[in-house]
A = this chain, B = another copy of it.
Amino acid sequence: MDSRKQRVLEALIDDYIATAEPVGSRTLARKYGLGVSSATIRNEMADLEELGYLEQPHTSAGRMPSDKGYRYYVDEIMRPTRLNARDRERIRHAYHVRVRELHWFIHQTARLVSELTLYPSMVVAPPLAQALLVDLSFVPLGSGTVLMVLRTSTGMVENQTLAVPDEFDADKLWALAWDFTQEFRGVSLDELKNRILDPLQGDINRYRELWQLAFKWVTGRDGDDDKVSLAGPLNILNYPEFRDIEKVRRVLGFLETKTAVELVSRYFSDGVQVVIGAESSLDDIQDCSLVTATYRLHGSVVGHLLVLGPKRMQYNRVTSIVEAVSEELSRALHG
């Protein structure tokens, strides 16, 4: 792979990304200043194909990048672009608000990323199972309902209104929450699940039912509702590779069922990762690429951020965006 081959590959991928059409030698010679004739390029292309970087949909068509070609492009050729001032500003100011709710951050981030990239984007919240319980409190709302508020070490504040069997006054509830917190502070929700619910003694006994409700609620929080925020799914309809309704169904279905959560935990390591086509080994998104990044809370990786698009994705722009946003998000969560 000499440097001219690289330049040919780069030009071809750039063109294919822009047009979604197989690229021929003539086009390449004309539009990109490669300084050689189309015949020479033809030879180079034949070589690149033999090496596995390009493929041909059929004999007399131009060539398009293979997964391996994209991989080489992403790893070796592509240089990160600097985002324009407008986008940088947008990212910088995205989190300047009073709201401190983790869900809000997640949601906001997904929207921001999908609007900047024009691809669908998902943000995965810190997995609750690994979070440690910080405290639990109850807020009496009257008429037999109570608001339970759970705080965890990942900064999540989850809450839910429940119907409770008896009326409780504020003091009783306060005492109960206190006891609960004392009992379980610092325990991970995952581990909590395996705790046997001690038969309660003494004073506490009267609150058994509420205690049990709380326990059940706290440990039952891993239904992945709300843990993932999806934005801009319809963006994929703008790309010609999704003209086929079956593909749309697969991809949107994939996004909707949030299989991505599981997937993303596989590309867990820090930093920006690119997954191209079949590399994900997920049938539904064989024709897609993903760009993922992690974000941090107090220095440790707690969640992921993900962009899904056609393989013909603007990798350099997307990776830049994803990197900038994940950094800004980590910074915002820290403060």
Contacts and interface: CB of A to CB of B under 8 A. Distances in A.
A223 B250 CA distance: 32
Interface string A197-236: 0000000000000000100000000000000000001100
A33 to B, nearest CB: 37
Interface string A161-172: 111000000000
- Complex copy number for this chain: 2
B161 A99 contact: yes
Interface string A111-147: 0000000000000000000000000010101000101
Contacts of A252: 234, 237
A157 B98 CA distance: 20
A101 interface: yes
Nearest to A140: B137
Nearest to A156: B161
B145 A100 contact: yes
A109 B234 CA distance: 24
A316 interface: no
B98 A163 contact: yes
B139 A149 contact: yes
A334 interface: no
Nearest to A256: B234
A249 interface: yes
Contact of A101 (B100, B157, B160, B253): B160
A66 interface: no
Contact of A234 (B149, B157, B253): B253
Contacts of A1: none
A260 interface: no
Interface centre among A100, A139, A252 (most CB of B within 10 A): A100
A245 interface: yes
A286 interface: no
Contacts of A234: 249, 252-253, 256
- 4 tightest A-B contacts by CB? A101-B161, A100-B163, A100-B161, A237-B249
14 contacts: A98-B163, A99-B160, A100-B145, A104-B160, A139-B139, A141-B149, A147-B149, A157-B161, A233-B256, A234-B249, A234-B252, A237-B249, A245-B245, A245-B248
Interface of A: 98-101, 104, 137, 139, 141, 145, 147, 149, 151, 157, 159-163, 213, 233-234, 237, 242-243, 245, 248-249, 252-253, 256
Given A101-B160, A139-B149, A234-B252, 6 more contacts: A99-B163, A141-B151, A145-B157, A147-B157, A159-B159, A234-B249
